[in-house]
Amino acid sequence: MARNLIINYCNLLFFGVKSKKETGFFVKKGMDKKLKTVYVDKIPSVVSKYFASVGVTEENTLLAMRSDLRADGSRGDCFIMLTDSEAVIAEGIIEFTSAGRSANGGKIRSEEFKISRYERFAVKDIGEPRAEQLISTGRVVAEADGEDRLIFNFSSACKHGAAVLCRAIGDLKKNGRLEPSEYENENYELHICSKCGRRYPDEELKICPNCMDKARLVKRLATLFFRYKRAIAMVLLAFGLIAGLGVVTPYISNELLYDEVLGKAGSTAGDVLAIVLLIVGVRIASLIVNLISGAISSSVAANVTYDLKKMIFNTISNLSLGFFTNRQTGGLMTQVNSDSLTLYWFFCDGFPYLVLNVVQLAVIMGVMLSQNLVLALYTFVTIPLFFVGFKFIFNVFDKLHAKGYSKRRSFNSLVSDVLNGMRVVKSFSREDEEMGRFGKRNTELAEARNEIQSFSARIFPFLHYLLRIGSYVVWGVGGWQVMNATGDMSYGRLMAFIGYFSLIFGPIEQLADVSNWWSETLNAIQRLFEIRDAQPEVRESENPTVPAECKGEVEFRDVTFSYVENRKVIDGVSFHIPAGTTLGIVGQTGAGKSTLANLLTRLYDVKTGGVYIDGVNIKELPFEYLRENIAIVSQETYLFRGSILENIRYACPNATREQVIAAAKTASAHDFIIKYPDGYDTEIGFGKKDLSGGEKQRVSIARALLRNPKILILDEATAAMDTQTERNIQAALDRLTKNRTTVIIAHRLSTLRDADKLIAIENGRVAESGTAQELLKQKGVYFKLYKLQAEALKTVGIGE
Amino acid sequence: MNENRNDNFLELAEVIYLTADNSRFYRTKNGFPALEAVLPKITDDLEAEQDKTPVKQDLGRVFFHRCFPFETPDEYISVLNKDGREYAMIRNLNELPAEAQEIIRAELDRKYLCPTVIKIKSLKEKLGYSFWEVESDVGELTFSMHDTYRNIARVGGGMLIITDVDGNRYRIEDVAKLDRKSFKKIELYL
């Protein structure tokens, strides 16, 4: 009772909403509500209770979300519930209070939702809400009574929720209901880690790096391990032989030599020749084993890295374009390279060595203990010291190397920057400044290197000295034992002991670094599997419909699209291209023209609405069918290394030479190609013949034509050509575009003169559409462009 | 000679600056900044000869954008319409009347809202992501970053802008003034 009063009071105080409205949505809407409440974020129970107390129950809530910024811009909780008639907003803090103890002594905690803002917006009274993206935060604003009004604030962490809410209110206004299929997958449970409750940092991957259990990674590592088990076993065998020989060598060349042969006491006394031959034999054997193991490792290395890279490259090519625009492709490839090297190193070097070192260490320590318990114990005292010492040194080195690495990176990027931009540097005579910048980075790099050098110069003599102390102990205690003939010690045995002692440090050094390279390996495998596990955003339908024949009719129905949340690039675009006709798209740079082409070719998927070919949604068509029937010549032409012939044939490798020539001729490429000494066999690409912009475009047009698609998209495909060439190509295209649906995107209106219909795109919307004549009469965007270009002609005296 | 060339350029660019004389900022009924100003009419019509004579007009709600957000946050502020088209510029916020300053500052503060990190309590790298626990001017915050090295930007002097996986920004005013422990944690990424 009291609460209701307060709420009514709040309503009156803040918004003057009459409480009569509140009761409105108690009315059950019958059966049309098939959508279960969509929880975009988790709503605490105390908050749900609060909302229920004002009549917003799970029954009538369509969508619920949480934001983390309050209306005044301060941090705090803000909850938004959407019913089919209202958006209800409550901001406040959840307070925990201790409410005494229960019967068995446990604390009873009670929560209370202390409210600081409460507001209701009737969906019909506000305009379609927009999410205004600010620098690091945003706000949802809607028009009410002709003026913008703040609905709620959000930080970028909640930007997705804000976008969903805006879309939902928009849909409610338009259709009066939410389409369940479009909202069901917005439930927060699908997007957060079930363990720690954090949102997955990457929507495509759905992995929580915080909770990703190492066990799973190790398991995956193990699967790879089994894949390479033969290789690893072979390396292990080779290493084992080396190590075994390493262990017997001190025994033979010290104990056996000094005590048995030279000591006149043993059974083989005086048999110098035999022992020398034995020593030589062991040395030769270890040399041979070394050679064999080297051969094994290098062949294994090549195979394993090849295999890893193949696996990764295969998955990379299957990912959608969005994956690459989110990451830097160059960095991606370097990462893949270095990660597969790390893994290779783990399988073929690190792991076998580790096993070997542990075994070797155990064997040597066992031998030492069995030979002379006291002396062995004395020497082992120094081992923990070394272990800690090595660990410390590796940590410092890791840090120094990381620093050096980042300096080298910035140095390299500067160098490549300046070299690539040499024309600009020279034309503004900025050489001196660039030299200065170069000098600064160079000094920093040198300093970082110097730091590493000076650290190792300081630390290693010290470490060697420490190592000496260990051997001093052996010398002292062992020598004393030899002199006093205690502990069954002989001169030869002492020498062998010292030999063993020096063998201990190799394994210890590596074991000290084990934790570091282990985590590095896990990182590498995680990154590799991250790529392997990534779900392509654009997925082929599982049971696609395969139309018998493609007529080439294209329709965009109310399409919206955004590359980044809350920045709509395409906003409700609809148009229809009858089969076999030509559509021209004009508009300013950045208006969204190329995005339309990307959507039609399904490089990206539309956010809402749909693209239809012959009446079938392209999401239901197989990729194969799409690629077969749509060809695009884009503004970024890319030619691969290889001959011109190979490049033209890229999309259909089986085309005959005659077909290639016909395509080249149509694209006006034939004439310039035959001017090259090697004709169609001219090699292009890095360091070879470099084609000019216009030539590249002509080759890529030929490439698309050879494909002979039903739908051809020319996205600024002739922009880099002179007008004469463009005319020639157009004349040829005119013949070609008969019976072919063509979309031409262009700045230059002359390019579009033969289009059956034109649409002008402005800020992601269709500003106007019709034939060129109709658009001229409308005096809108097209007319403006026309006038501008006509004026440009007038200035040189070619009035139209 | 150099100066002459620049002056000539300034004239050609025709940047309009708002002053106390040609503008009046006010708030809309719902609290958003709005502007009434004496400016040439903005038309899209290319046919009509562009009329450059300033007229007094009520532009309604306006938007702001700092041209140099890090170095001179109070100077060179662009005043835009909702589609991002510029009406005019403010050369220096301090030259405007107190009331206008207050309205604009409040809006800029909201737009550029971003917590300032005071202390880094914990920074852990795990499988390519880094997890942060920091103390900031708005309390304790936790966030995670991907590609940490690339998402920490140094902007003039010692200021750092950190961008997390969601695109939220955090600011460190002067990295050299952080306490030693915090600095050691972040040093590797600089």
Q: Which helix (H) or strand (E) holds B135?
A: strand B129-136
What is the phi/psi pair of residue A67, to 5°?
Answer: -125, 160
CA-based nearest distance B50→chain A, Å:
14
Q: In this structure, what is the dihedral angle of CA atoms A619, A620, A624, A626, given to the nearest 10 degrees? A: -60
Place of tokens 């209370």: A112
Q: A35-89: per-residue pLDDT in tens?
A: 688 898 888 888 998 999 998 888 889 999 999 999 988 888 999 999 988 999 9
Contact map slice: B 119-178 vs A, CB within 8 A:
126-129, 131, 138-139, 144, 146, 149, 164-169
Sheet bearing A130-133, strands edge to edge: A130-133, A137-144, A147-155
CA-based nearest distance B65→chain A, Å:
10
Angstrom distance (rounded) from CA A768 to CA A755: 15
Instruction: Kindly give the interhelix angle for A351-371 and A229-250, rounded to the nearest 10 degrees.
Output: 30
Given A73, A402, A787, which is nearest B188 (Cβ)? A402
Higher-pLDDT residue of A327 and A397 is A397
* Cβ distance of A136 and B114 shorter than 8 Å: yes
Q: B111-136: per-residue pLDDT in tens?
A: 999 999 999 999 987 767 888 999 99
Q: A276-331: per-residue pLDDT in tens?
A: 888 888 888 888 887 887 777 777 777 777 777 777 777 777 777 766 665 555 55
Q: Could you report the predicted ipTM of this complex, rounded to two decimals?
A: 0.90
* Cβ distance of B31 and A150 shorter than 8 Å: yes
Q: Is A412 on the interface with B (CB under 8 A)?
A: no
Q: Is A215 on the interface with B (CB under 8 A)?
A: no
3-state secondary structure at position A596: helix
Angstrom distance (rounded) from CA A559 to CA A573: 5
Residues 6+ apart with CB under 8 A from A726: A718, A748, A750, A751
A403 contacts in chain B (CB < 8 Å): 188
* Cβ distance of B46 and A787 shorter than 8 Å: yes
Angstrom distance (rounded) from CA A348 to CA A345: 5
Kindly state the tokens that stand for A49. Answer: 């209770």
Given B47, B128, B164, which is nearest A523 (Cβ)? B128
Predicted TM-score (pTM) of the model is 0.71
Q: A732-742: per-residue pLDDT in tens?
A: 777 766 778 88
Q: Is A771 on the interface with B (CB under 8 A)?
A: no
Is the pLDDT reported for residue A13 higher than 50? no
In three-state form (DSSP H/G/I as H, E/B as E, the rest C), the secondary structure along A615-674 is CEEHHHCCHHHHHHHEEEECCCCCCCCEEHHHHHHHHCCCCCHHHHHHHHHHCCCHHHHC
Is the pLDDT reported for residue A684 higher than 50? yes
Determine the pLDDT at residue B170. Answer: 94
* Cβ distance of B138 and A74 shorter than 8 Å: yes
Q: A431-458: per-residue pLDDT in tens?
A: 888 889 889 889 988 998 898 888 888 8
B126 contacts in chain A (CB < 8 Å): 209-210, 212
What is the phi/psi pair of residue A151, to 5°?
Answer: -95, -55
**Contact assessment for residue B186 and residue B123, using Cβ atoms and an 8 Å cutoff:** yes
* Cβ distance of A136 and B167 shorter than 8 Å: yes
Q: Is A670 on the interface with B (CB under 8 A)?
A: no
Is the pLDDT reported for residue A800 higher than 50? no
3-state secondary structure at position A727: helix
Q: In this prediction, what percent of chain A has a pLDDT beyond 70?
A: 86
The residue of A136, A203, A329, A531 whose CB has the most chain B CBs within 10 angstroms, and thus the best one to mutate to test that interface, is A136
3-state secondary structure at position B87: strand
Given A75, A209, A784, which is nearest B138 (Cβ)? A75
Q: Where are the alpha helices (DSSP H) in A488-562?
A: 491-512, 514-533
A523 contacts in chain B (CB < 8 Å): 127-128
Q: B33-84: per-residue pLDDT in tens?
A: 999 999 888 766 555 566 678 889 999 999 999 999 988 899 999 999 888 8
Tell me the average pLDDT across A390-417.
Answer: 81
Our measurement of the distance from residue B40's CA atom to the centroid of its chain's CA atoms, rounded to an integer in Å, reads 25
Instruction: Kindly give the interhelix angle for A229-250 and A491-512, rounded to the nearest 10 degrees.
Output: 150
